[in-house]
Structure 1
Amino acid sequence: MKRRNFLSLTGTFTGGALLLPDFLFALGSQPNLVVGEQCLVFVQLNGGNDGLNTFVPFEDTLYYNLRPNIALSKDEVVGKNQNMAFHPALKGFATMQQNGDLSVIQNVGYPEPVRSHFRSQEIWQTASATNEYLNDGWLGRYLDLKYKENNPTGGINIDSIDNLALKGQEPNSITVKDPSRFKIKSDADDNIKLSNNPQLDFVRKIANSVLEGSDDIQNALSNSISETTYPKTGLAKNMEWIARLIKGNLNSRVYYTSLGSFDTHDNQLITHKNKLTELNDALFSFYTDLKNAKLLQNVTVVVFSEFGRRVKDNGKGTDHGTAAPMFIIGGNTKGKIIGNNPNLSNLNNGDLKHEIDFRSVYASLLQNKLNFDCTKIGIQNKKLEGLF
């Protein structure tokens, strides 16, 4: 069996008992990172979020001409700033920006864009070129170099499936759907040998790593409570878990979760409003929670999607496009709008032209927040200036 298959067997835990034989369970101890270090929280919007109806060029007549069926009126958008404004469902985003805690990065994408959901997500998660295929994620490569010995809670993915962005050569991250149910067995024998087969022994190493991470997660949860009321939605629950792990001093460097589906080919006005409402309410609760705990300066939230939508609507919605905005919350971001407003008169075959490469945003996050040289994991882009 290949090593990566062992990782897929042992790295994911979705609640309940870990699906491994009893003899693989063993208790361990995992020293926490230094309290107060910076961490990154990623919220991935799956399906291709319509950036033009998220952060709206409400003063551009072309926006209304090209989107007669789905354009948002000047009267309903909120947080007007530099001829741009937020979707009316994003009142919390507007408040965070007014507070100086949210930056918008406009026209983010990459050269030779791909409209396939799967492939474009893969490009964002590995930081590869369009014609380059990598097996490990950009955050997984970072975590491999960050830790001399594997740290099972270096990265936490709150989801039911693994995320390629966190995949590395070593088991430095854990996927868990419900941290409250992520518990280990207490009757394991750490002295039992699997076999003389080094591959099977490697399975045990990974299993023990997962179990050590479980212990740390339970300790962090026991050291924290929710003092902010979160909405009863899937994303809000995930953000509440992340907040509790941060407040409980788990000290993971990376947290990851996702929200879908933003694939609004049809019935966009209603669907998009509902998805953005869930996003806004979950993140504003998280923001309030961390700010009240005086931890917002240590936590940087990154909101992105694999691509935006076509500029012209299709009558009921929008089809797959290219560039779109990213949103950065907390982490002492400068609270600016970075980049030019979308140029709707200079399109590439009906799509927005990207002006900022997403890997330059990654470079800024790595260098400014994690004190890490991005070239060590193959990102050659210069960091985006003015973000922090």
Structure 2
Amino acid sequence: MNSKLTRRQFLGEFSCAAIGSTSILSALINLKMANNAAAASLPVGDDRKTLVCIMLAGGCDSFNLLVRRDAGYSEYSAARTDMALSQGELLSLSQDTGNDGILYGLHPSCPELVDMFNGSGAFSDKRRLAFIANIGTLVEPTTLTQYQSSAVPLPKALFSHIDQIHQWQTSVPQGLTELTGWAGRMADVLHSSLNTGSTAMSISLAGNNVFQIGNETSQFSITGNGALLPSGGSANLTSSNGRKNYGMEHLLAATYNNMMQDALAQHMTESREVQEAFKSHYDAIDDSAVSGLFPSSKFGQEMRAAAKTIAARASLGLRRNTIYVSRGGWDHHGELLVTQAGMLDELSQTLSAYQQALEYFGVADEVITYTASDFGRTLRSNGRGTDHAWGGVQMVLGGPVQGGKVYGTFPSLTLDGVDDVGQGGRILPSTSVDELFAELACWFGVSAGDMPYVLPNLSNFVNIGDTPQPVGFIRPDSFST
């Protein structure tokens, strides 16, 4: 083996299947992220910004999250029939001035989200939450007539879980051939000039994902307990996974009989060193004042870890970083009303705890968090739940967000109406994911010149040099570096 064999060549030539352990495969893909870190000092300035993506995997039925409680409720209830929430149980949203004039309510399981939107309760006078109505994957702006006549290119494999999640992560809806994500491409253009230290710009609490893979950069995986170490983070030999990983590490590193084993042992050592360095900074963050706010669920603890990681940015040498978290289980073909109520309760409590933690750490004005999901759901009930659709509602939250508003255009929910492409009420998106991502990328520091690399389809929707806020949910003063 050539001593200068690159990491990508090594991974490409080494048969991970021969190891027989997906945990080791994950470790290999995260090896030696320090190779991409800058050795020089930071440019002038010490601002820090973090972008957090929460993937609601499975396709969240967001038209039962945000509901019209004015005259538009009758349209909603007629389309949803037995899946409709009663008007009286909706939690009232009090919109900030200058919104669309529609009265909205939230699912009754989300009182904490109401406080974040209204600027009440734990968020008194701080409107930290906004919604983006009817957003989804698009190749270019598309009307119902164009969709019906196939007059414009459409995202590949609409209504497919794997394809639509991939397209939300890559922002290249033409198909599955794109192997890098838009956050990874942001890291390609920003990481080396803005970050120092050994921790990668892209930090994942959901293992390996396309979203954070660039052409020159990849993600750095951690867990809800912090560093991802072969022994489980703290010599945890009590669990089967901990024992397996511990044993696998020693099995792989015990002998150097050939050059392949030697290279693998070196990479394992370097990976552990990076994780140990991360652990020392992560463990130094005292979050005891807010840790009790988080649910004990896996998702709750992962968001707690995200908040602690954000608080450790300065010591980690990160002026820019992204964090990816996934909460699955939203594919409610059956038992929608009961199951979603419990999941939204957890989501509402967790996001509130997370945002309160950011306020406590004094970093709330430097962090934007957004939700993504495969797609919205059909308006029409299938008798027990709803099916795969297209446009839906997403959330954005944080100090830089102009909260208390619903952005975009809330669609008509009439079956076979002006926004329905058919097959049970599949809503045609009026806002593209590119427009959302472009506003986030501009805030993050991506230049107009680099935007075509980060978001290849963006020019189909907007000239970002003229319009750095295509959706408008970020405060203008927070774009300053």
Partner of residue 291, structure 1: 359
Q: How does 1:1-388 map to 2 (within 5 A)?
A: 5=12, 36-59=47-70, 60=72, 61-80=74-93, 81=95, 82-99=102-119, 100-111=127-138, 112-113=154-155, 114-131=158-175, 133-148=177-192, 152-159=199-206, 161-180=207-226, 182-183=228-229, 204=266, 208=270, 211-228=273-290, 229=292, 230-249=294-313, 250=316, 251=318, 253-335=321-403, 336-345=405-414, 346=418, 347-349=420-422, 350-372=425-447, 373-381=450-458, 382=462, 383-388=469-474
AA matched with 1:46: A
Deviations 1:17-55 (A, max 9, x none): x968xxx99x99988977640111111000000011011
- Cα pair 2:91 2:107 within 8 Å, conserved: yes
How far, CA to CA, are the matches of 2:342 and 2:285 in structure 1?
34
**Which has the larger helix fraction?**
2
Instruction: For residue 221 of structure 1, report the CA deviation from its aligned partner.
Output: 2.4
Cα 1:15–1:118, aligned 2, differ >3 Å: closer, same or farther? closer
Q: Once the 2 structures are TM-superposed, how far is the Cα of residue 165 of structure 1 from its aligned partner?
A: 0.4
The 1:317/1:184 distance shift into structure 2, 3 A limit, reads closer
Q: Distance in 2 between matches of 1:308 and 1:213?
A: 37
Once the 2 structures are TM-superposed, how far is the Cα of residue 253 of structure 1 from its aligned partner? Answer: 0.8
Q: Which moved further from structure 2: 319-328 or 218-227? A: 218-227
- Shift of the alpha carbon at 1:171? 4.3
Distance 2:13 2:227 in 1: 23
What is the alpha-carbon distance in structure 2 between the residues aligned to residue 85 and residue 275 of structure 1?
18
Residue identity opposite 1:386 in structure 2:
G
When Rg is computed on C-alpha atoms for both structures, the one with the higher figure is 2
Counterparts in 2 of 1:64 and 1:330: CA distance versus 1, 3 Å: same
Which structure 2 segments of 5+ residues have no match? 1-7, 96-101, 120-126, 139-153, 232-249, 251-255, 463-468, 475-481
Structure 2 counterpart of 1:91, one-letter code: P
User: Quick check: 1:342–1:352 contact (8 Å CA) kept in 2?
Assistant: yes
Q: Tell me by how many angstroms 1:215 deviates.
A: 0.9
Where in structure 1 are there 5+ consecutive unaligned residues? none
CA distance 1:163–1:357, change in 2 (3 Å): same
What one-letter code is carried by the residue in structure 2 that aligns with 1:130?
Q
Question: Which letter does structure 2 place at the counterpart of 1:370?
Answer: G
The SS at the match of 2:116 is helix
Alpha-carbon distance change, 319 to 19 in structure 1, aligned in 2, over 3 angstroms = closer
The size of the alignment, in residue pairs, is: 374
Inter-CA distance 48–248: structure 2 relative to 1 (3 Å threshold): same
- Aligned to 1:363, what secondary structure does the other structure show? helix
Decide whether aligned partners of structure 1 residues 324 and 293 sit closer, same or farther in structure 2, where only a CA change above 3 A counts: same
How high is the sequence identity, in percent, across the aligned residues?
23
Pair 338,181 (structure 1): closer, same or farther in 2 beyond 3 Å: closer
Cα RMSD (Å) = 3.6
Q: Which moved more, 1:227-236 or 1:260-269?
A: 227-236
Query: CA separation in 2, counterparts of 1:295 and 1:6?
Result: 43
1:308 aligned counterpart, secondary structure: coil
- What's the CA shift for 1:178? 4.1
